[in-house]
Amino acid sequence: MAARLVPNVYPSLAGRTVVVTGGNTGIGAAICRAAGGQGCNVVIDFVGDDSPNARVIADVEKAGGRAIAVRADVTRVDDLQRLVDAAVDQFGRLDVWVNNAGVETRSSLLEATEAHYDLELGVNLKGAFFGAQVAAKRFIKQRSRGVIVNVSSVHEDWPMPGNAIYCCSKGGMRMLARNGAVELAGHGIRMVNVAPGAVRTPMNAATLDEPKLAEALEEAIPLGRVSSPDEIASVVLFAASDGASYLTAETITVDGGVSHESPGL
């Protein structure tokens, strides 16, 4: 499916400042582009390869937003705080924080190493937990009703044999949204998970680039196809918008029905 910009259907997001962790590739880049289409100011977090940054920034600006890229390792709290500071320094405030950065080693319980565990739990869960913390502290300081959106996975609730650490990390994100949202509700802060199923991203390239595996996956999805990153981005923006103002402590599953059909792929 060709990339597309989300139409400007969330007017409440115009002018708001959004931080997207893991924002220069995959679902993160789609979220940044879609936020640009809503007139947002976007802080694109990245670690490692900076070559996609110029293209994503150009796409955000072409769509009507503003953007900067900031190198920050989400496993380091000081780096997460640097993302907050960059948003405030460049755009004056922070309104939406998207915990999107994620990694996957596809390790089973018996095969997993301590290094695998530390990597996945560090990026997927520690990064989301402390990302939510630094964002929430900034919202409270601003006296504003901020939103935290966690890009989780169907595997926050659905086992995937052979991918034990990833499932544990996403299961932790499930409870982060529930517990964190209840704690923060009194400050007017919402926290919502968006849980994709199979998405056409670099993380899934090994499956999607193998015709037989890709065919088996698509056959297992009731809608008959893998999602595009843009389809996930549109749900993230809805969750962040005032259209979802009464939605918190919940997960929106966006999986084409796969978690209700397949035994796991």
Q: Rounded CA gap, 190 and 203, in Å?
A: 28
Residues 36, 10: contact at Cβ < 8 Å?
no
CA-CA-CA-CA dihedral for 116, 119, 123, 127, to nearest 10: 120
Q: Rounded CA gap, 22 and 59, in Å?
A: 16
**Both structure tokens of 110:** 């018996």
Any catalytic annotation for residue 166? Answer: yes
Instruction: Return all residues near 47 (Cβ < 8 A) that are at least 6 apart.
Output: 22, 71, 72, 73, 74, 101
Instruction: Return all residues near 83 (Cβ < 8 A) that are at least 6 apart.
Output: 19, 21, 43, 45, 70, 72, 134
Active site residues: 166
